[in-house]
Structure 1
């Protein structure tokens, strides 16, 4: 097998892969952070901005069901992958389990703040049910696409502090923590996809992932806008004011959609791999924002409720 650098083109990787293309010095680890005690004190917790708040709230609604789906899909492929990738899938599952748990708590706080999330949850469940009915390899393709979308949003969130500069402190920490782990495991689903399709032609693989990304991205954008508009309606913001606010936020102001357009397009490049862009430095940058943390080591079990809660002194991590 050739020695691959992080930024090297991986056009031939599927025929060579024996483990994964995750950088060798990157340890995928679940930090098992707890934010359930961080109450949402301000209804518009993103600096008093109802539009920005609606964006993150609508996104959070997707995570509990979406993360569980990703876990189930990769778990189904885990025992058919090489050892290194198998370990990374296990670590991926541990991280996503905690993400699902923490966003379920966050969403409950939104409900306690008198937001009705039922329409958004119904839309999410309907989408995931349709994907879950697809063949196994199509479920993996969808997971790979959604993980890429999540990773590029995560990178933008950390790299551009303006997004959460004025957000409530505890909520900002939660989102930065989540974003850092999404970057950390951003190649796992893609490596699983490469291994599962290692006997496909390049054209067959590119065509499948391209068609899925176009379809997934269309639905993702449409449903997040609909979710934002529904939450804004509950804040008394409707009609032209709501639409203008959403479009300005997405494309002109903080512009999370515009700013992630280029990395989204890179997915379509022949030979693409998520680690063609080495953004590992953002993981530590995010950690420095949500404070030095004791990294809890999970037991060898996919169920997050059995994570080892003992704090181990040799795992104490200090971030400059």
Structure 2
């Protein structure tokens, strides 16, 4: 490998730093529609984050299956750090899911549906393919930071506590973005075509669950079916327009289908060092998030 290639990998792969005991202030004082008083955007992100705790447990179990086969000590340590980060994510989002319960959201019912889906993955597919599916999901979540925090317009008006939670999660997803992919490449039989198939499944399943969760919560809020569809139409440009939050990373999702792709091909968000420096200085995810947003374009 050339010196240039090695330097690129070093810049695009920051150290994995598990951070614990973070206090985001996730309690009943968070407004019901915390995203700029916009019910649709609030419940869309609520639907996204609601899935994280069980999703993280699925990711961890998929990788742990292969832990004993990993002989590279660096990758073995990264698996441990990945597991610790994902465990912390699950605990933080569980705290907010309890807030959603207090708002009358059918959290337990939605989580039961998700657990059935994830258990189905484990039962239906081989351990190798479950790691491939996890690698695909991890690629998608590693793109969240720039999608949600690279531009001021995306998270503008959101409650600072939720901004801090999502920013911290997104930052750590960038840090461990290569771990599952490297496990897949080094100790499983997954090749190019099954890797691509896993990404297609991951995109389809995650989008379906996201909109299903958000629609169910909006229904619990008392919005009728026509009102919910009208909300979606009004927010299509925010989601999928030329500067939409989801359309902003389409090309990076597509990059996964390149035969020689590796997660280190995609650099971390340019302002990642801003979040990191402020967090190291203050040990406050809130101040680190505000520093990150101050650098957004």
TM normalised by structure 1 equals 0.79
Mapped contact 2:34–2:158 kept (Cα < 8 A): yes
User: Relative to structure 1, is the Cα distance of residues 6 and 263 closer, same or farther in structure 2, using a 3 angstrom cutoff?
Assistant: farther
**1:243 equivalent in structure 2:** 229
SS class of match (1:267): helix
Alignment partner for residue 172 of structure 1, among 160, 163, 169? 163
Shift of 1:138: 1.0
Alignment partner for residue 277 of structure 1, among 266, 273, 276? 266
Distance 2:232 2:127 in 1: 35
**1:32 equivalent in structure 2:** 20
**1:102 equivalent in structure 2:** 92
**2:288 equivalent in structure 1:** none
Mapped contact 1:7–1:275 kept (Cα < 8 A): no
User: Relative to structure 1, is the Cα distance of residues 253 and 120 closer, same or farther in structure 2, using a 3 angstrom cutoff?
Assistant: farther
User: Relative to structure 1, is the Cα distance of residues 86 and 23 closer, same or farther in structure 2, using a 3 angstrom cutoff?
Assistant: farther
Alignment partner for residue 228 of structure 1, among 214, 219, 237? 214
Aligned residues: 280
**2:81 equivalent in structure 1:** 91
Distance 2:242 2:210 in 1: 17
- Match status 1:150 vs 2:141: yes
Mapped contact 1:71–1:93 kept (Cα < 8 A): yes
User: Relative to structure 1, is the Cα distance of residues 6 and 229 closer, same or farther in structure 2, using a 3 angstrom cutoff?
Assistant: farther
Larger mean Cα displacement after TM superposition, 46-55 or 150-159: 150-159
**2:119 equivalent in structure 1:** 129
**1:71 equivalent in structure 2:** 60
Shift of 1:196: 1.8
Shift of 1:275: 1.2
What CA RMSD, in Å, does the superposition of the two structures yield over aligned residues? Answer: 2.7
Distance 1:66 1:238 in 2: 29
**Per-residue displacement from partner, 1:31-88 (whole Å, max 9, x unpaired)?**
1142364324210011111111111100111111110111122222223221111111
TM normalised by structure 2 equals 0.85
SS class of match (1:285): helix
**1:54 equivalent in structure 2:** 43
Distance 2:223 2:69 in 1: 50
User: Relative to structure 1, is the Cα distance of residues 239 and 290 closer, same or farther in structure 2, using a 3 angstrom cutoff?
Assistant: farther
Q: Which runs of 5+ in 1 are unaligned?
A: 9-20, 296-318
Mapped contact 2:24–2:164 kept (Cα < 8 A): no
Mapped contact 1:35–1:174 kept (Cα < 8 A): no
Distance 1:7 1:207 in 2: 29
Shift of 1:238: 3.0
Mapped contact 1:74–1:189 kept (Cα < 8 A): yes
